[in-house]
Structure 1
Amino acid sequence: MDERPRVLITRPGERAGPLREALEALGADVVTLEAMRLEVLPETPATRQAWLDFDRYQRVVVVSPFAAECLAAGLENYWPQLPLAPHFYAVGVGTAQVLHDRLGVRVHLPPASHGDTSEALLRLASLQRLDEQRVLLVAGEGGRALLAESLEHRGARLTRLAIYRRKLLSPTGMPAAHLADGNFSALVVTSGELLEHLAGWCSKAALNQPLIVSSQRLATLAQTLGYLRPLVAQGATPPALAAVVADVCDLNGADHDDLEKG
């Protein structure tokens, strides 16, 4: 009989892999709950114009690893050699890593102690005054209103480029059954949209299980949705999330180096 603590993760697509590996290194029984799919949007005239004008932007802000992947793929079609003009900014270490790996660029990030949030990124000194600077915000459809509004309020000539969509899915199979009956030791969610979506599928028992989120904003939202035990990790990276799972599930067998590789 497998007595390992069962941990439900909700990270969509390929990004689920490193989180799964980090949690399995702890000794957890990891179950992927497929409740969201990320889909690249077809190129529009506005998207094409943003690619053509890329060398005219002073700052490029990228909100997620998938946005960074889409950005890199789009630029490859128009810029065999990346222009030197833009300064890159990322919401989160994972996003910065994709930008560095795919584009070879230096990326501005908030201090790790501040977490992977829009609020933390907006504290950077170089984003405080943006008088008439052209700023490209690369994101998915909807969301990140605070980031866009704050950049415009600080004087940026902002172009918001939505290059992917998030499609919510109905949980199915055994993962859905675990969610419905609360038969798990921890649930890991790093998206407000997913928190809202999953709340409708959770039983009272599930809402009473530990919920690991990546920011205080998500913890506050979780409480309003009826989750009773939200716990905040120091960001959305696999090591940060795994550290909280280890504490909650009393898992002490993981090698620290293994977690850092996540």
Structure 2
Amino acid sequence: MQPVLITRPGERGDALACSLREHGHAVEKLPIMELVPLIETPGQRSIWLNIDQYGKIIVVSPFAAHCLAEALDRYWPQLPVGIGYYSVGTATAEALHARLGVRVRTPPPDAGEDTSEALLTLPSLRRLDGEKVLLIAGEGGRIMMTETLAERGARVTRSEVYRREYRPPPAGARRRLDAGDYRALIVTSGEMLQHLAPWCSPSALHQPLIVSSQRLATLADTLGFTATTVAPGATPPALTAALARVS
């Protein structure tokens, strides 16, 4: 049985692999990217120690949620009160709730496919006159969200807590990509798709590609992929359902 290739790293990748296997698919993970926590600087430590001064905290990924929870465990034996927590997706909200036990606001389900833009449609983020907002993100991530929050009057602080380290696919994966020897490829990140594309032969470019948004589908078309299917989201059930449509 040809495997489904997945690029999502860490626990989220494990959850996707589990969902696919439950539906009868063989799965092979492509370890082409690793999330690496950044070393804490004095400035970062100051943010953690004064985190009770922020009215809102926006967390952009499950790994960012993990880094935030680790910091709060170190510096706040009792969680500060009065903070509104926001996330760009349900997986991040679930990670925050599991680690911190907090209620998390997420984008409305019908607000659009871009999670950043969808989150910013929430009424509580539309006017932020002078309010202190902390954005927990990866290195260089969510710049547009930072700018939009500032335009709406927020005093935004960015806390970049991890970086993405990309690497070439391992030898076995390169052989599969060269031969197009797989059932489908699932990618949910534009950076990852661009990183992977140079290793995809013409055969691979004609194999099914599952992406999580129309934006990624447009990028895939630019990169030469010809059999792209857009899932209704980036969750394991959504991606698994999209794969069923091309099986």
TM-score, structure 2 normalization: 0.95
- Point out where structure 2 has 5 or more consecutive residues left out of the alignment: none
DSSP-derived class of the 2:188 partner: coil
Note the alpha carbon deviations across 1:37-89, whole angstroms, 9 max, x for none: 11011101121111011101011110000000011001111111111121011
Q: Aligned equivalents of 1:145 and 1:243: distance in 2?
A: 31
Note the alpha carbon deviations across 1:227-259, whole angstroms, 9 max, x for none: 22222212211111111011211xxxxxxxxxx
Moved more, 114-123 or 102-111: 114-123
Code of the aligned partner of 2:62: P
Q: Between Structure 1 and Structure 2, how many residues are aligned?
A: 246
Question: Is the counterpart of residue 130 in structure 1 residue 128 in structure 2?
Answer: yes
Task: State the 1:112 CA deviation.
Answer: 2.9
Task: State the 1:146 CA deviation.
Answer: 1.6
DSSP-derived class of the 1:217 partner: helix
- Point out where structure 1 has 5 or more consecutive residues left out of the alignment: 250-262
Note the alpha carbon deviations across 1:9-52, whole angstroms, 9 max, x for none: 00112221110010001111101011101101110112111101
Q: CA RMSD in A?
A: 1.3
Q: CA distance change for structure 1 residues 116 and 26 in 2, over 3 Å: closer, same or farther?
A: farther
5 Å matches for 1:143-154?
A: 143-154=141-152
Match of 1:98 in 2: 95
Task: State the 1:149 CA deviation.
Answer: 1.4
Note the alpha carbon deviations across 1:76-127, whole angstroms, 9 max, x for none: 1111111112101111111000000000000001123444611111111111
Q: Aligned equivalents of 1:7 and 1:92: distance in 2?
A: 24
Q: Aligned equivalents of 2:194 and 2:149: distance in 1?
A: 27
Q: Aligned equivalents of 2:105 and 2:26: distance in 1?
A: 35
Q: Aligned equivalents of 2:147 and 2:229: distance in 1?
A: 28
Match of 1:32 in 2: 29
Code of the aligned partner of 2:136: V
Higher relative CO (Cα under 8 Å, sequence separation at least 6) belongs to: 1
Match of 2:51 in 1: 54
- Displaced runs of 4+ in structure 1, greater than 6 A? none
5 Å matches for 1:1-262?
A: 3=1, 5-113=2-110, 114-115=112-113, 117-249=115-247
Give me the identity figure in percent. Answer: 56
